[in-house]
Amino acid sequence: MTSIALFNNKGGVGKTTLTYHLAHMIRRLGLSVLAVDLDPQANLTSMCLEETEIEELWENSSELIDQGAAMAGLPGTGRVRSGQTIADAVRPILEGTGDIAVVEPARLQPDLWLLPGSLDLSRFEDKLSNEWSRAYAGDIAAIRTSTSFHRIIEQAARAVDADIVLIDVGPNLGAINRAALISADTVLMPLAADLFSLKGLSNLGPTLRQWRTDWQSLVLPRVPKGISAPRATMQPLGYVIMQPEMRLDRPVKAYERWLQRIPWVYSSAVLGESPPSRQDDSHRIATMRNYRSLMPLAHDARKPMFDLKPADGALGSTQQYVKTCFKEFKALSEGVLARVVDLPRDTGDASAAG
The model's pTM: 0.89
Residue 265 CA to residue 259 CA, distance in Å, equals 10
Q: What is the DSSP string of 43-71?
A: HHHHHHS-HHHHHHHHT---HHHHTTGGG
What are the sequence ranges of the domains in the chain?
Answer: 2-341
pLDDT in 10s for each residue of the chain, 354 residues: 999 999 987 767 789 999 999 999 999 999 999 999 999 999 999 999 988 888 888 874 444 334 444 434 444 556 777 778 999 999 999 999 999 999 999 999 999 999 999 999 999 999 999 999 999 999 999 999 999 999 999 999 999 999 999 999 998 889 999 999 999 999 999 998 888 888 888 888 899 999 999 999 999 999 999 999 999 999 999 999 988 764 444 556 777 888 888 898 999 899 988 776 667 788 999 999 888 889 899 999 999 999 999 999 988 889 999 999 999 999 999 999 999 987 765 544 444 433
DSSP string, 243-278: PPTT-SSS--HHHHHHHHHHHHHIIIIIS--SSPPS
Q: Which CATH superfamily is domain 2-341 in?
A: P-loop containing nucleotide triphosphate hydrolases (3.40.50.300)
